[in-house]
Amino acid sequence: MPWTTALIPSQAGRRALVTGATSGIGYEAALALAGAGAEVVIAARDAGRAEDAARAIRRAHPGAEVAFRLLDTARLASVRAFAEEWRAEARPIDILLLNAGIAAVPRREETEDGFERQFATNYLGHFALTGLLLPHLRNEAGARVVAVASIAHRSGVIAFDDLQRRRGYGPQSTYRQTKLAMLMFALELDRRLRAAGSSVRSVAAHPGLAATAIARRGDRAGPLAAGIGKGLLGLLGQSAARGALPLLYAATAPEAEGGGYYGPDGPWEIRGSPGPARIEPHARDPDAAARLWAQSESLTGVASPL
């Protein structure tokens, strides 16, 4: 039987933190988690859009507990401020859903930390956030860290000698690197959690080809490119709500395994119901993952407790 939101176990008494939940698959995931009874924290950089999303969720699910916290994963200062505020409150987390992202920025941009913007937003900020929040994950069965990867990881390459793509920037190749990094991070995190004897699971998921605004920065490429992109999504892709299902499966299904990777089960994994997704061999390389982890700690200044 196809897995749908109706199969999400009760999330009453659980707390879910979702990054980038103001629109697209992040919003749909937050909406479904709130509908299942979870307390949802929307972590986003745009307060206005986040409050709009929270109000929409409350309208759909009266009585839902939904809150907004300011977080810009492209800024380490924002990540640290978020984590420090959370530490002061000492609130446990049951689901940490790492979803915020951008794609296909036409020309290379740098953040205030000197990082390439896609790499910072999609990966480095989430690496730092996870390291800082790990002490607050409930160490019990059912607690999850869910990293949103992509079918784009298949042709991704980690440029260890040029992670910031100063010499070889390309909008798509750089995006593919970030999503490969997210998948490698999820698998390495699971290995480390298991070695530490933790009950927390690290799981990865991807939405297939979902109609979202992730490439909004790509609109600078012009209306023709944007029109072609929308046409392909309409023809081949699926809705954001459908794209969120693998994320929700990874976050809540009892059968979702630590170190697992889930996506749509249809042709080429671009649409369909949640199921096991294909992981390319280069994403499974533990030596490369350990090297990426070490470089990420050096770049962010966040040393993992694992």
Residues catalogued as catalytic:
175
**For helices 171-195 and 125-133, angle between their N-to-C axes, nearest 10 degrees:** 20
| 185 phi, psi to nearest 5 deg | -60, -45
Radius of gyration over every alpha carbon of the chain, rounded to an integer in angstroms: 18
Provide the greatest CA pair distance for the chain: 52
Rounded CA gap, 196 and 255, in Å? 22
Q: Give 103's Cβ-side CA count (13 Å radius).
A: 15
Contact 202, 193 (CB under 8 A): yes
DSSP secondary structure of 168-195? S--HHHHHHHHHHHHHHHHHHHHHHHHH
CB 245 within 8 A of CB 29: no
Backbone angles phi, psi at 264, to 5 degrees: -60, 145
Cα separation, 85 vs 168, in Å, equals 38
Q: Which of 186, 155, 151 is nearest to 293 (CA)?
A: 186
Residues 6+ apart with CB under 8 A from 243: 24, 25, 28, 207, 208, 209, 210, 211, 212, 237, 264
Q: How many helices (H) and strands (E) would you count in the chain?
A: 10, 8
Cα atoms in the 13 Å half-sphere on the side-chain side of 12: 2
